[in-house]
Structure 1
């Protein structure tokens, strides 16, 4: 495999792979059989190398996404290697025909992962729209209703999805705290006007003090009850598994209804004390 590094000349890489001879149908079949039957890695290498030119050709159609061409080609090469691993010459098709799906799948995933900070397409319909809508639109103007219906019919999706994806494609990523952009452009960093009240120190301290106060009052209230009542509340509310009324009735030799009355009265006393 020919590796592509950022510092390398991409044109030089392309000229190199274009100079690798193509395999004949018989040569490709023989190499693929060696790989499948014997796990011959040299055969796999020959299959990959002879088809690198097709990855370059496919990758060239993804030049409008603002991503490095070398990165797109490298991702396509990963797809080619996956295809070689799964290729079965007995099906009677050439490797390149079988590999197109795998090459495009890897490139698509890379583009979706890197085109925006937030992924713009996650469902199957959104992914199909993302790549087809850019190609279908003829200008930077917003689509009218007739154009939306036409595209929806062509791609077999809901018109609302077309409008939604058009909005996503037209959006721009903004940095949360980009001081350079704020200075050069009339752009206000979200960090200057978006706040999270949950991490306000005053609110956090108030919450902590309130919880500590409530726990202290609860502890004092429980200790004002006699031992039997505390045990009933503990087994009914704090233990796991919680005891039933009938289980406690058997323990204390009283009726289940009496246990319920004791529990209800104790809870009322605790609430009254805490709310003082």
Structure 2
């Protein structure tokens, strides 16, 4: 069977649209069954795409390298993220690489694509591995991925190991120590895993952390209290004379607040008189609301 026929028989469009998360095992088995391209066949397809913008050639190149994306994704299993999500991100990188591949450079597509595939996975890991990002600068990103691979075990780095890694990566030893501390921290999911059993489910913070502010009885009580105070304030304001009510409203209940001098000019009295009227009105309001 020719390579082209093999790809067609495996429904390429279905493979590209199928999400690995739906059935990861079936996805891996399917992409692993696609025949690897020979050097000549790959060059032929790449030239069709490069010179003629042949979409079918691009599709076949992508399909033949999906298994490599799976292989790369598995090398990042230590980050605690779903393999299916990493594969999807890697597939995006693969398609970007195929689009930019230049067959005249004399290199295999897999050598060129690995950088694009890893770049997409790295971006996904940095965005999702922690809610609080552990790496923001270019140097920190480099340290983040290299530190995991250079650590020999789960123990904390010795001073000599820290200095060696810092020198190798061209960063300050303090940066290595800080990044190691971040990497060694343990994430705890707020809610329970979908496949959690009854015993382990209660270990999720969702099950034992209580949010008092969301108690229905307290919410109703708070709403009733606010409504009662608003009603009292409305009744107390209505008991004031028009001038006192206007002064209080413009001094306390509006934005921007009017100044004593502005109200004094408007009512043709002194600022001190406005202050006295305001003070008397506030006393009446307090008395009315406490009645």
Kindly indicate whether residue 155 of structure 2 is the aligned counterpart of residue 141 of structure 1.
yes
Does residue 211 (structure 1) correspond to residue 226 (structure 2)? The answer is yes
Gaps of 5+ in 1: none
Name 1:123's counterpart in structure 2: 135
Whole-Å Cα distance in 2 between the matches of residues 32 and 110 of structure 1? 29
Q: 2:45, 2:57 within 8 Å by CA — same for their partners in 1?
A: no
Assess, with a 3 A threshold, how the Cα gap between structure 1 residues 136 and 124 changes in structure 2: closer, same or farther: same
* Pairwise CA RMSD: 4.1
Partner of 1:162: 179
Question: Is 1:16 aligned to residue 34 of structure 2?
Answer: yes
Matching residue of 2:62: 48
Change (3 A) 1:130 1:100: same
Q: Which residue of 1 aligns with 2:236?
A: 221
Structure 1 contact 31–47 (Cα < 8 Å) conserved: no
Q: Distance in 1 between matches of 2:224 and 2:27?
A: 64
TM-score by length of structure 1 reads: 0.70
Q: Deviations over 1:159-178 (max 9, x none)?
A: 3422322322xx25356457
Q: Secondary structure at the match of 1:107?
A: helix
Q: Assess if the C-alpha contact under 8 Å between 1:80 and 1:99 holds in 2.
A: yes
Q: Report the CA distance shift for 1:267/1:84 in structure 2 as closer, same or farther (over 3 A).
A: farther
Contact 1:17 1:49 in 2 (8 A): no
Contact kept? 2:45, 2:58, Cα under 8 Å = no
Q: Spell out the pairing of 1:192-207 with structure 2 (5 A cutoff).
A: 192-207=207-222
SS at match of 2:120: helix
Q: Is the 8 A contact 1:76 1:104 kept in 2?
A: yes
Superposed displacement of residue 108, structure 1: 2.6
Which residue of structure 1 aligns with residue 199 of structure 2? 183
Aligned to 2:75: 61
Cα displacement (A) at 1:212: 3.3
Indicate how the Cα distance of structure 1 residues 22 and 272 shifts in structure 2: closer, same or farther if over 3 A, else same.
farther
* CA-CA distance at 1:139 after TM superposition: 1.7
| Equivalent pairs, count | 266
**Residue 80 (structure 1) aligned with residue 97 (structure 2):** no
Instruction: Specify whether residues 211 and 69 from structure 1 end up closer, same or farther in structure 2 by C-alpha distance, changes over 3 A only.
Output: closer
Give SS of 2:245's match.
helix
Q: Which runs of 5+ in 2 are unaligned?
A: 1-11
The aligned residue for residue 232 of structure 1 is 247
Q: CA deviation at 1:233?
A: 2.1
Distance 1:228 1:89 in 2: 82
Deviation at 1:231, TM superposition (A): 1.6
Q: Is the 8 A contact 1:152 1:162 kept in 2?
A: no
